[in-house]
Amino acid sequence: MSNYYVSGAVLLILILYIVITMVRLRKAVTNLTQEQFIEGYRKAQLVDVREPKDYEAGHILGARNIPYSQFRQRYKEIRPDKPVYLYDQNTGKSSRAALFLKKKDYTQLYQLQGGFRTWTGKVKSK
């Protein structure tokens, strides 16, 4: 019987962690549709947090690459007083990057809903 209580407690903790993370994320970053993203990204800092090989294979025109693996060392390249538009392949890394920036007092954080995999706009590749 005690194994059921332990399993239930672990499951409850996991669910609470997911809910808390979702609430923190909702407060940190605004998800934008592709149309909304296109409307504002030219007036903002557009950051692709994918790894260089993915960036070079194709990225949104005007984006600069700050890979998530280097984000803690390079985030100061992003100005805190201007809007920041983030994207990655899906949204996992851009969400984590937004949470990190929020802790560093960045306030205007946006991410592409669905990530680059759903992007149908202009793309630049090397």
Mean pLDDT, residues 3-24:
72
Confidence band, pLDDT 50/70/90 cuts, at residue 43: very high
3-state DSSP assignment of residue 68: helix
Element (H, E) at 32: strand 30-32
**All structural domains of the chain with their residue ranges:** 2-124
Q: Give the pLDDT score at 89.
A: 96
Are 109 and 24 in contact by the 8 Å Cβ rule? The answer is no
SS3 string of the chain?
A: CHHHHHHHHHHHHHHHHHHHHHHHHHHHCEEECHHHHHHHHHHCEEEECCCHHHHHHCEECCCEECCHHHHHHHHHHCCCCCCEEEECCCCHHHHHHHHHHHHCCCCCEEEECCCHHHCCCCEECC
Reported as a single tens digit per residue, the pLDDT across 60-84 is: 999 999 999 999 999 999 999 999 9
Are 50 and 88 in contact by the 8 Å Cβ rule? The answer is yes
CATH code assigned to 2-124: 3.40.250.10
